[in-house]
A and B are shown apart, each in its own frame.
Chain A
């Protein structure tokens, strides 16, 4: 299936906090400020997963949040992409081997792009969004 490249100009984003320390969120909010202003590229935050094309996940998936993460992922209409922000979701990061974790994220849902860093720079998150768009256009989304 070929997806139209209208995603290139309009990527609506849903933020999901899977137990993060809020550091990654602060970097993401920086994306909306005048310095980075991702609205220039048509990226905007939405309040409901039903409206979203892009799921941005932060944090190392705690035991309680895992079913919710799966549910939010399933609620998003296709086609969709998933970006995992922060090293927490890759390996557990600062919370590695905590008793309350069942992550990393890709054990729960498929992830398309990983952004390492604790927290990553806003530029890195934009770069990840570009990578995710490329994947969407090649219709190679893991789903």
Chain B
């Protein structure tokens, strides 16, 4: 009973935390992007203003749409993003559902928010949204291969190092990959990090992988018919998803905490770890979303596919091979 209550309240806390930090980091992202363009940019609370404004607007449901699917999709996108956050460690707090899922589950769950957007796009029955949904599906299929390579490489390396439960996120964070590998494997690990950094904007549909939303050609693509409350929910989902992707990068590649290095009283250690974790998240978002977004233009959909399948897939396999060679040498 106590356990159920813990999970219930924990989920609510994580949801509130994820939504608020998600919106704050969206605001920080917009400020940083503006500064890089020599602009001043919006205040950091801008996403909150946008959210409240969207909530106060009319919620249009197009006549040709399938209303229940159309309304369900944004809820599904937000809920599944929050569920993902439950499986990821936050600061030095272990993941709430750590005992119930592993890296494979996370890789699977990462599909759900994107799938929800696809469903919403098809349900709105606008030709723009339909094209956007098809593009989103293609993008989804293409970044799956590099993402799976990372999971396999990690599990293989941990399994070879004799760690119990190599797929569990807790054993991955307890054994940072950098400590397990020799010089050759180090190169492999850096390549894996690169792959995950490039998959992140694809997962978030940010430039240069925002072909499904492409404002200039598809007028918003998947989201073209969404307004008011439904659109606000998608907005929240984007924020939470950014946190999720960054938290995944942090958990896989930078799992260190302040309290591992400095002895602190428990409460102070938790707070310091959380602050440090937020800093790491911001750094990851900066490199994986803001910097890429500001320096590149949108890719065409066939370029997205060939980038992910051919080049990033090849880099992923190369990294896997390097890790294996490293394992054989050692």
Contacts and interface: CB of A to CB of B under 8 A. Distances in A.
A5 B62 CA distance: 27
Given A39-B41, A42-B42, A50-B226, A77 B57 contact: yes
A6 B53 contact: yes
Interface of A is mostly: loop
Contacts of B225: 48, 50
A34 B39 contact: yes
Contact of A4 (B38, B52, B128, B216): B52
Contacts of A75: 60
Interface string A71-89: 0000101110000000000
Contacts of A6: 49, 52-53, 56
Contacts of A48: 128, 215, 219-220, 223-225
B260 interface: no
**Chain B interface SS verdict (over half):** loop
A77 B227 contact: yes
B56 A34 contact: no
Contacts of B224: 47-48, 50
Nearest to A37: B39
Contacts of B228: 77
Interface string B291-302: 000000000000
A40 B41 contact: yes
Contacts of B43: 9
A46 interface: yes
Contacts of A77: 57-60, 227-228
Contacts, number: 84
A78 B54 CA distance: 11
A10 B42 CA distance: 10
A3 interface: yes
Contacts of A34: 37-39
B30 interface: yes
Contacts of A46: 215, 220
A26 B49 CA distance: 28
A48 B52 CA distance: 19
Given A37-B40, A48-B219, A78 B58 contact: yes
A50 B58 CA distance: 10
Interface string A4-26: 10110110100000000000000
Interface in B198-231: 214-216, 218-220, 223-228, 231
Interface of A: 3-4, 6-7, 9-10, 12, 33-34, 37, 39-42, 46-48, 50-51, 53, 75, 77-79
10 contacts: A9-B43, A12-B53, A37-B34, A37-B39, A37-B41, A46-B215, A47-B216, A47-B224, A48-B220, A77-B60
